[in-house]
Chains A and B, each alone.
Chain A
Amino acid sequence: MSVTEMFSYIQGFLSADQDVREDIRKVVQNLEQTAREILTVLQSVHQPSGFKEIPSRCAKARELFCTVRTQLADLKTKFPVEQYYRFHEHWRFVLQRLAFLAAFVVYLESEALVTREEVAQILGIEVVREKGFHLDVEDYLAGVLIMASELSRLAVNSVTAGDYGRPLRISNFINELDSGFRLLNLKNDPLRKRYDGLKYDVKKIEEVVYDLSIRGLAKEPESGGDK
């Protein structure tokens, strides 16, 4: 094989690779659009009037997750499944956002931590790599960490809206999450960096709880949304 032949063979491979990436990028753009829509729907819980609307907002968000499922199904067809990690960085960001949104919906509904299986189910993807397009454990954890900072914001806003019970529940939840993350031996990678931010969310929520307790507001019966 001559040098020229060899290089045109490689060139063919590289341009095929670029075509695949181009296709993936288009689908990922749609996914990002949907993710933004879901976020907008959920953002209203920070409004003073939003607490009453939580169930309806969650229902709306779950409807939008149907679109996500079809878009992810579309993404799956764009590349061979065993090359997931070759193109991983294209959808890593959006998948983390979607994991966050799913976790947030589940938290608002049941005040529990979403499991990785549930997220995968909401997004219509697999949990383990062998079965196809899956949710990488690090992406799931990153999504959970994004939710933690969203919850610290929610704690502040729920006080403003007059819901004094919620910050206490969020505090318990975040503390449990923090203990969970401390079980992990993280490497010096993006996940570790994000985890390092968790302590500020913990601190913020503890401050809110402190403010409520010294004013005797923390004893409020846990009725939730009693504005």
Chain B
Amino acid sequence: MNKREGEGWSRKTLDAAQERDVSANPSSPVIVAFKVFQQELDTKHDKYERLVKISRDVTIESKRTIFLLHRVANVPDAEDVLNEAEGKLDGVRQKIGQIAEELRGEDIYQFHKAFTPGIQEYVEAVSFLHYIRHRSLISLEEVNARLVFMRTDKAEPKGSAEAAPSGAHVLTFQVTPSDYLLGVADLTGELMRMCISSVGNGDIDTPFQLSQFLRQIYDGFSFIGNTGPYEVSKKLHTLRQSLGKVEDACYTLRVRGSEIPKHMLADLFCSRTAHIDPEEGVA
């Protein structure tokens, strides 16, 4: 029973050791019971791993969508980019559909840790797109309303008992309020970047709109305070920094904007942010 050696053993010897243990007393009730536990735990861990994998895919695709959306200001036809982003998000939703499928009949919260990063990233992407289109905050209901999936039961004989004989059933995925909140907190970072780059493009209306919107979100988070999950208070700090940057940008625009001809404004601001950025990167 030397465990320290056991850790260095190859998989094969370990299996052999397991067999020896079992063959020592294969019919003992303890061994029989533990075989059941083995199966149960393995099933659970496998499901967890599958969910982690899907969640990572969701994260990656959502991040790409966000990068794509940052290009909106640089291209002549914004609508094309927005439609492309919408298409990407449809792909992400398909993946979330897979999560919903894995979670059928399970307790969502049992596996919540496996997929929460992906869902937060998705909320960030979808709310960013929504803001660019409508200049408003997407609501939790609107997020959840898009996460309804139709599935046909042919592939899954298991589900056919509960579903209607027609073969189609509805799967839903509910984003939890906490995930929504954390996704929105991440959104503010993207909005800050959007603000700075829009000034770079000579757009002087967007920063003011953004600062107003960010202030509303900041007020909202202050209203929630520490009733929220632990992560919220951490993100509140970053949110404050983002808001500070955006407000500074608006301030500069207001003060210097009246002194300098409009066509030179972009140059002025670009050089200013270039000076600021390296320091902020360190801080």
Contacts A/B (CB < 8 Å), 21 sampled: A3-B219, A4-B219, A7-B217, A7-B221, A8-B223, A10-B177, A10-B224, A84-B110, A86-B109, A113-B33, A115-B29, A115-B33, A137-B37, A137-B40, A137-B41, A176-B31, A179-B24, A180-B30, A182-B21, A184-B37, A203-B1
- B133 interfacial by beta-carbon distance below 8 Å: no
Residues of A that sit less than 8 Å from B by CB: 1-4, 6-11, 13-15, 18, 82-86, 88, 112-113, 115-116, 129-130, 137-138, 141, 175-187, 196, 199, 202-203, 206
Q: Mark B24-60, 1 if CB is under 8 A from A, else 0.
A: 1100111101110110111001000000000000000
The smallest C-beta distance from B145 to any residue of chain A, in angstroms, reads 12
Q: How far is the CA of A82 from the CA of B31 in the complex (A)?
A: 31
Specify which of B31, B217, B223 is in contact with A180 (CB 8 Å cutoff): B31
A216 to chain B, nearest CB (A): 24
Given the known interface contacts A176-B25, A176-B30, the answer about A141 and B37 at a Cβ–Cβ threshold of 8 Å is yes
Q: What range describes how many residues of B lie at the interface? A: 35 or more
Q: A4-B220, A113-B29 are known contacts. Are A181 and B34 too (CB-CB below 8 A)?
A: yes
Q: Which residues of B contact A83 (CB under 8 A)?
A: 107, 109
Q: How far is the CA of A175 from the CA of B216 in the complex (A)?
A: 63
In angstroms, how far is the closest chain B Cβ from the Cβ of A9? 7
Residue from A2, A10, A206 within 8 A of B140 (CB atoms):
A10
Counting CB contacts under 8 A, is B173 at the interface? no
Chain B residues within an 8 Å CB radius of A1 = 137, 139, 141
Additional pairs, 5, CB under 8 Å, beyond known A14-B178, A14-B224? A9-B140, A18-B227, A113-B29, A130-B105, A178-B1
CB contact under 8 A between A6 and B35, given known A176-B30, A199-B1 = no
B237 touches A (CB below 8 Å): no
B266 located at the interface, meaning its Cβ lies under 8 Å from any Cβ of chain A in the complex: no
Most B CB contacts (10 A, CB to CB) among A112, A176, A199 go to A176
Q: Shortest Cβ distance from B226 into chain A, in angstroms?
A: 10
Chain B residues closer than 8 Å to A203, beta-carbon distance: 1
A14 touches B177 (CB 8 A): yes
CB <8 Å contact, A85 and B220:
no
Q: Which of A15, A18, A84, A186 contacts B41 (CB 8 A)?
A: A186
Assembled-state Cα–Cα distance A116/B178 (Å):
34
Is residue B22 contacting chain A, with contact meaning CB distance below 8 A?
yes
Shortest Cβ gap from A174 to chain B (Å): 10
Task: Fill in one digit per residue for B163-206: 1 if any A CB lies within 8 Å of its CB, else 0.
Answer: 00000000000000110110000000000000000000000000
Question: What are the residues of chain A within 8 A of B31 when measuring CB–CB?
Answer: 176, 179-180, 183
Number of A-B residue pairs at CB separation under 8 A: 121
Residues from chain A with a CB closer than 8 A to the CB of B223 are 4, 7-8, 11
CB within 8 A of B224: which of A11, A176, A202?
A11
Identify B18's interface contact among A14, A141, A182, CB under 8 A: A182
**Once the chains bind, are B17 and A185 in contact (CB under 8 Å)?**
no
User: Is B3 located at the chain interface by the 8 A CB criterion?
Assistant: yes
In the assembled complex, the CB of B13 is this many whole angstroms from the nearest CB of chain A, namely: 13
Given known A179-B22, A199-B1, contact A185–B34 (CB-CB < 8 A): no
CA distance A203 to B2 in the complex (A): 9
Does B213 reach chain A (CB closer than 8 Å)? yes
Bound CA span A179–B112, Å: 32
- Also in contact, A84 and B107, with CB within 8 A (given A11-B224, A113-B29): yes
A11 in contact with B227 given A176-B31, A199-B1 (CB within 8 Å): yes
Instruction: State how many angstroms separate the Cβ of A75 from the closest Cβ of chain B.
Output: 16
**Once the chains are docked, how many angstroms separate the CA of A13 from the CA of B107?**
19
Distance between A224 CB and nearest chain B CB, rounded to angstroms: 21
In angstroms, Cα B202 to Cα A30, docked, is: 65
> Is the beta-carbon distance between A180 and B33 smaller than 8 angstroms?
yes
B228 at the interface (CB under 8 A from A): yes
In the assembly, what is the distance between CA of A130 and CA of B18, in Å?
A: 32
Which of B105, B107, B213, B220 is in CB contact (< 8 Å) with A6? B220
Complex: A85 Cα to B112 Cα, angstroms = 9
- Chain A nearest CB: distance from B31 CB in Å? 6
Contact of A113 among B18, B22, B25, B30 (CB under 8 A): B30
Closest-CB distance, B37 to chain A (whole angstroms): 6
Known: A85-B109, A179-B24, A184-B38. A6 touches B224 (CB 8 A): no
A82 to B109, CA, bound (A): 9
Chain B residues contacting A115 (CB-CB under 8 Å) are: 29, 33
Q: CB distance B228 to A3 under 8 Å?
A: no
Q: Which chain A residues lie closer than 8 Å to B28 at the CB level?
A: 176
